[in-house]
Amino acid sequence: MPQLTVGEQSAELILARRAELAGAITRALYEAMPQLHEKYGDYGRARCLEDMNYNLDHLAAAVALGSPAVFVNYVHWADSLLRARNVPTAELIRSLELTREQLRSLLPPDEAAAADLCVHAGVEALGG
C-alpha cells in the first residue's frame, strides 16, 4: 500500500477531527466577534457551525489534492453565498484566520502546514 502524502494525512486528520475543529472555530469566532450573537442569534450560531463543517470538508479536499486553487474557488463561492445573505466578507475572513489557528493547535506541525497553504490562499483571495 502506498504511503500517504503529508497533504493526504492532513486531509484525513481534518476530516477525523472535523466536529472538534468546527466547534472550536465557531466558539473562537463568537468570542472574537461577540456582536455576532446579537446579530444572528442562536439560529445563526447553528448555521455558522454548519458552515464551518462545510469549510473543513472543502479544505480537506483541497489539501489532499495539494491544490490551494481548489479551496480558493470554494471560498469565492462561499463568500458570494454569504454576502447574498448579508454576511460580510470580513466575517468569512475572520473565520478562516481562526481556522488556521485551530489547525495549528490541533494538528501535528507538518499536517497543519499543509492545510495552512490552502487556508492562507483563501484568506488572500478575499483580500484578508
Structure confidence at residue 128 (pLDDT)? 81
Provide mean pLDDT across the span 31-48.
94
Angstrom distance (rounded) from CA 82 to CA 104: 26
Q: Are 71 and 121 in contact (CB under 8 A)?
A: yes
Prediction pTM value: 0.94
* Residue 2 confidence (pLDDT) above 90: no
pLDDT band at residue 42, thresholds of 50, 70 and 90?
A: very high
pLDDT over 90, % of the chain: 98
Q: Where are the domains of the chain?
A: 6-125
For helices 89-106 and 109-125, the axis angle rounded to 10 degrees is 170
- CATH domain 6-125 topology: Globin-like (1.10.490)
pLDDT over 70, % of the chain: 99
* Residue 1 confidence (pLDDT) above 90: no
| DSSP of 93-115 | HHHHHHHHHHHHHHS-HHHHHHH
The residue assigned the cell 470538508 is 57
